[in-house]
Structures are given as C-alpha cells and as structure tokens.
Amino acid sequence: MKQVRPYPRVTVTRKAARSLAGGHPWVFESEVLSAEPAQNGDVVDIFEENGTWQGAGLLSQESKIRVRIVTRNANDRVDEAFWRRRVAWAWQHRRATMGNRALPGAEPDSNCCRVVFSEADGIPGLVADRYENVLVTQVGTVGMERLRPVVYAALLDALAADGEKIDAIYERNDGPARAKEGLPQYKGWWDGAGVSAPETPRIMVHENGLAFDLDIENSQKTGFFLDQKYNRRAVREIAAGRRVLDCFCHVGPFGLNAAAGGAEFVRCVDVSQTAIDLARENTRLNGLDAHMNFTCANVLEYLPALRSDRSRLREEGGPFDLIVLDPPAFTKSRGTVGHAARGYREINYEALRLLPRGGYLATCSCSHFMTRDLLAKAIAEAAHQANVQLKQVEERQQAPDHPILWGFPESHYLDFFIFQVV
C-alpha cells in the first residue's frame, strides 16, 4: 500500500488474512504477529505479514477477539462522518425491508425492529433495538463504548431525518460478554443530549397489530425477541380453529398471534413466573382473555407429563393440534453442540408424540452453533423416534432487521420450521 495511513499497524498471520479475505470480520489474539503502540479501543490498520493491507478495525486489548474490522475500503477515514453513514445505511435497510410489510391496519413494521445488528451492519459491538419512541442498546466492546456518544447521536439524527422521533435511550450494558473486554456491567437511561429519562422502564409497544407491555430493564435481551416477528405471523396464518400449545412463551407473542389468527384456544407455558405474568397482562391488553390460559412450568418436564397423563392434558386444554417450540439457545459454545442436539431432539420428540395426524409443529433454534443442518437432523431423528412422517410447510430464518452477513456465520443464528404431521 503506497498511501500513508493514519492508524497504528497490526500485522497478522496468513491464516487470519485468508479469513478476512473470505469476509469474516474478526482477528483473534493468537493471529496477531506484531502491533504498534495503540490505546484500547483505537482504530488500527490490519496488514498481512507480506505487507498487504486487509482493512481497518477497532482494537480490543483484553479480548481474544483482538480486532473487529469496520472497513475494507482504504479510502475510508473512520471518523464521525463514517459512523453517521453506517448508521444511516442501517436504518435505510430497515425501512427498505420492513417499511411496507405491515399487516392491514397495523403499525409500520419498522416501528419495532433492530436498527443496528453489530458486525452485520458494520458497527461491531453495538445492538440497538427500536421500541417505537425508545431505543434499547447493548454495547459489547471497548471501541464502541468509547464511540457511544457519536453513534447514539447518529442514531437519533438518522431517525429524526426520517420523521421518526426517539424520546429516550435505555442501555442494557449488563451482559457477561462485557467482562471479556474489561468493561463494567450496568443498565439505565442514557443522559445524552436530545433525550430524557422516563419515569419507568415499562413501555407499551405494538407488533403485528398487537399491544405488548414490556419491561426493558429486567426482561431477557433488550425486552423482546424482535427476530421472530415474521415467524409469529406464519404461526398466525395457520392457527384458525386450532388448539395451540405455546412452549417457552416468554411474554406471549407466539400465543397472542395464534389467538389473533383465530385459534380456538391457546395454552402458554414458560418456566418464568415473571414472563407468565407479563404474558397474561398482554393477553388482557389485547382482549384475548377468553381464548388463552397460562402455566408456569419447565417445558422439558411439562411435555412428558402431558404425554403420560391424558387427564392432565385435557385439564391444560388439549389435545393440541398446533405446538410452538421457541426454546432459549441450548448451546452457546461449539463444545456443547452434541448435548444441545439431544435437547432439541427430545423436545421435538415430546411435541410430536402429542400431536395428531394432520397437526402442526412450529419449531426453531436460536444458536448459531446449532446450524440449520444440525437442527434439521435433530428434528428428523425425533420424527423417526416418534414414528411419524413430517411434511415441511415452511422454512424460515430471523427477520431482515437481523441481517445475515455472508462470510460471518455468527450472524446466522435463528432457524425456524413449520411441519405438518402426516
């Protein structure tokens, strides 16, 4: 490279250069051969040992992921204007892919969506979810921690330029991953310019025409699982007249979509009483009380109990002819994939044993380590064990506000199937 670069130089192995050339945006600690002096969180230039420039990224001196690439364009200067462009592109993507897909009479789908999805949007270390007039953010790297004021201001301005006013930003910087960056864990309202702190972290939002009372301070992730928006619609479309069992229901979005789609009855099950209480409140908000009921139970124990006790099954509202399985990630590391596969096989087996011929199963995995093919294999084994055949109705993934970046398999984490038992 002939031009003079303004950033400290990091030299990496040929293996790292091959990975970067394939589109992966990470350089690991073990792949760094040498590094010029730099501050933690600085922008650095990445060079292969033969002198080939590979990109520029944010340095994380305490993380095994030592550098996260932000640009492969040598003409870029990673300044405030750069981040404003990135944020604007991210928002434009949501408007393009979700702005015209709303259900008739419902709110725009971009009213509640993920606005920034970290590396998949070229803004590594930041997740920003929009819940109507509130943004909930998660910052996971030291570089993005330093850039918060710049990127938050860019977010507010990008939405405001599109006529979308954001009143507050709530930070959920309490994830354990921050410890790997040497960052403290905390949560609370951001007190930057242009926003104010509401009195409560309980907010009312709408998705797919349904109202949800969310606790963005204490709920999982940022308060809601926005990635399943269109998968919930897929369940709604087949729910009419059916008796539905919604397992791992969280605050009730699958069950509520089924009821809104005309389900005869919906039973929602979750191990968290807090989640069940919120689901019950969301049911009341939407006037669907007559069609839904709730059980606080461990699904892994609940499904076998229903199968072995027909009177219990009837008490819970069964037999069911549509079962939804939306479990938490059974694995968060490559080393536990085998154990996770057994877990997915077991819950799908139990669900299939409860379903009659002609019934429907909606099932998914939200771990990128549990790949699409591994999940499909676990489901196929469950069907074989249950002595049923499956007819695939639909195969889906995460919503487009959680874009999948090719070359970066970590960005593809949600796979969703709907089957009919035949």
Q: Which residues are catalytic?
A: 366
Cα 62 from Cα 345, distance rounded (Å): 38
Q: Return the number of other C-beta atoms located less than 10 Å from residue 237's C-beta.
A: 15
Cα 296 from Cα 253, distance rounded (Å): 16
Cα 301 from Cα 407, distance rounded (Å): 39
CA distances to 97, 100, 117, 245, 318 from 113, rounded to whole Å, are 11, 13, 10, 26, 34
Beta strands at 243-247 and 265-270: parallel, antiparallel or unpaired: parallel
DSSP 43-88: EEEEEETTS-EEEEEEE-TTSSEEEEEEE--TT---SHHHHHHHHH
For residue 407, the SS3 value is coil
Tokens encoding 61: 């001196």
Closest to 245 (Cα-Cα) out of 159, 186, 324, 329: 324
Q: Which residues contact 6 (CB under 8 A, 6 or more apart)?
A: 77
Phi, psi of 246 (to 5 degrees): -105, 105
- At residue 202, what is the residue type? R
Q: Return the number of other C-beta atoms located less than 10 Å from residue 147's C-beta.
A: 22
13, 35 Cβ separation under 8 angstroms: no
Residue 65 forms beta bridges with which residues?
28
For residue 340, the SS3 value is helix
Tokens encoding 400: 């487009």
DSSP 119-171: GGGT-TTEEEEEETTEEEEEE-SHHHHHHHHHHHHHHHHHHHHTT----EEEE
Q: Which residues contact 394 (CB under 8 A, 6 or more apart)?
A: 234, 417, 418
| Sole residue written with tokens 């087996």 | 349
CA distances to 217, 231, 362, 397, 413 from 228, rounded to whole Å, are 21, 5, 12, 8, 12
